[in-house]
Amino acid sequence: MTQGSVASNTSGGGDSSSDSSSTSRGSTRVLGGAVATAPAGALASDPPRPEEVDERYRRADYSDVFQFESRQAFVRAIAGGEPRMRLAEAALHVTAEDDAIASLSTVRFPVEAWLERIDRLVDQLCAVNLRRAATAVSPPPLPPAAAAAAGSGASTSSSDAAGAAVAAEAGAVLRVVERYLWEECGFRAPDYGRSNLPPNAVVDHAGVWEDARLGYLHETLVRRCGHPATLGLLLGDVCARLLDRGRLPCAATVDTRNFQYLPRALALPHLTRDVLAAAAAAQGVGSDGGSGGGPIGGLLNTCTSEVLVEMLRHLKRSYWPFAWDSNEQLDVTYPGGGAASHGGFRSAAKLATGEEMSAALAAIAKVAAWRLERGIFTSPGAGDMRRARAACERLVLLAADRYPEERRDLAIILLHSGDVPAARREMRAYMRAVSPAPPGGGSGSSGSSIASQAEPTGRAGAVGTGAAAAAAGSGAGVSYWAGVGGPLGPDPFDLVLCRRLLSTLEGLGVRAAGEEGGEEQGLAAEEPLCVEAALRMTPPWERARSGGGRALPLTW
For 59-74, write each residue's pLDDT tens digit.
Answer: 567 788 899 999 999 9
Residue 497, H or E segment: helix 492-511
Residue 342 has pLDDT above 60, yes or no: yes
pLDDT band of 482, cuts 50, 70, 90 = very low
Residue 289 has pLDDT above 90, yes or no: no
Burial code of 4-26, b = ≥16 C-beta within 10 A, e = fewer? ebebbeeeeeeeeeebeebeeeb
pLDDT band of 469, cuts 50, 70, 90 = very low
pLDDT band of 53, cuts 50, 70, 90 = confident
For 527-542, write each residue's pLDDT tens digit.
Answer: 899 999 999 998 877 7
pLDDT band of 9, cuts 50, 70, 90 = very low
Q: Which of 78-92, 144-158, 311-325, 426-440 has the lowest mean pLDDT?
A: 144-158
Residue 48 has pLDDT above 80, yes or no: no
Residue 156 pLDDT: 54
pLDDT band of 474, cuts 50, 70, 90 = very low
By percentage, how much of the chain surpasses pLDDT 90?
36
pLDDT band of 376, cuts 50, 70, 90 = low
Whether 50 contacts 57, CB under 8 Å: yes
What dihedral angle (degrees, nearest 10) is formed by the CA atoms of 105, 111, 116, 119? 140
Whether 434 contacts 460, CB under 8 Å: no
3-state secondary structure 263-316: CEEEEEEEEEHHHHHHHHHHCCCCCCCCCCCCCCCCCCCCCCCHHHHHHHHHHH
pLDDT band of 35, cuts 50, 70, 90 = very low
Rounded to 10 deg, the angle between the 62-78 and 87-103 helix axes is 160
Residue 468 has pLDDT above 90, yes or no: no
DSSP string covering 135-180? HHHPPPPPPHHHHHHHHTS-HHHHHHHHHHHHHHHHHHHHHHHHHI
Sign of the alpha-carbon dihedral angle for 518, 309, 348, 480: positive
Residue 282 pLDDT: 80
Whether 269 contacts 170, CB under 8 Å: yes
Q: Which residue has the higher pLDDT, 275 or 211?
A: 211
d(CA 9, CA 520): 44
Using the 8-state DSSP alphabet, how is residue 355 labeled?
A: T
pTM greater than 0.95: no
Q: Which residue has the higher pLDDT, 78 or 288?
A: 78
Q: Which residue has the higher pLDDT, 492 or 391?
A: 391
d(CA 549, CA 526): 24
pLDDT band of 464, cuts 50, 70, 90 = very low
Q: Which of 83-97, 205-219, 277-291, 433-447 has the lowest mean pLDDT?
A: 433-447
d(CA 69, CA 66): 5
Residue 338 pLDDT: 62
Domain range list for the chain: 16-55, 87-139+162-306, 325-377+384-542
pLDDT band of 132, cuts 50, 70, 90 = low
Whether 234 contacts 111, CB under 8 Å: no
